[in-house]
Amino acid sequence: MVITYIRPDKNFLAVHEQLQYINAYAVANDITVDEEFLDHTSQHKRLGERNEVTGYFQSHRDSILLVYDVWVLSTNMEDLIQMVSCLMKNNYKVHFIKHSVIMSQQSSAMLILGLMDQLRQKLQENSTRVIGRPKGSKSSSKFDIYISDLLQYIKEGKSVSEMARLLSVSRSSLKDYIESRELKQVAFGSFQAEVSDNAEEKVINTIVCPQ
């Protein structure tokens, strides 16, 4: 089974931005997604409080998991270590789209440590300044909770008016949301993601050692 996991974070990427990269990656690699898990759990909740997520992952062992980057799993290093360990124990193959790398039980320890160290560096960098949204990213919207439905409606060829009626929302506001998030491009995977050569080596080379 192939699962996508999307978890927005105000300091990183919004839902539609993650989906852009994930869908483009799936199309480029001829991967068919079976299920999509869109997680709106508060960013401040620790892993022990995210029972829906942990239960879902435990019940779908031996799956392929597509996520944009490591921070999507967790931005708490302790929780991240536990989540990665459990994913590996349950024989997941995790595709980190941003880095074009796949983490599995057969992966080099250096790859896994490199991915974690990149997040450690980013969190350390953020702790020294006022954190804001990445340049060009969109703020959260009340329509974010409908994004999975909207993408399905777009694929089915429904008009904005039809979608607005189904969701009982304003047509004009919904139209603006769909256009600003480029959801038509997201739905059909027309966004072109950058492909990296020697991806694993590049991740490992980002590890910073104290002098």
Ordered by start, the domain boundaries in the chain are 2-138+181-200
pTM value? 0.74
pLDDT tens profile 89-110: 999 999 999 999 999 999 999 9
What single-letter amino acid sits at 35? E
Nearest residue to 123 via CA among 67, 84, 75, 82: 75
The radius of gyration of the chain's CA atoms, rounded to the nearest angstrom, is: 18
Residue 56, pLDDT > 70, answer yes
Task: For 106-120, give the secondary structure using H, E and C.
Answer: CCCHHHHHHHHHHHH
pLDDT tens profile 155-208: 888 899 999 999 999 999 988 888 888 787 777 765 555 556 688 888 888 888
Q: Say what the pLDDT of residue 44 is.
A: 79
Q: What share of the chain is helix, strand, coil (3-state, %, to 5)?
A: 50, 10, 40
Q: Say what the pLDDT of residue 196 is.
A: 61
Pair of tokens at residue 117: 């160290």
Q: What is the CATH number of domain 2-138+181-200?
A: 3.40.50.1390
Sign of CA dihedral 39, 40, 41, 43: positive
Q: Say what the pLDDT of residue 191 is.
A: 57
Q: Say what the pLDDT of residue 132 is.
A: 52
Q: Say what the pLDDT of residue 197 is.
A: 67
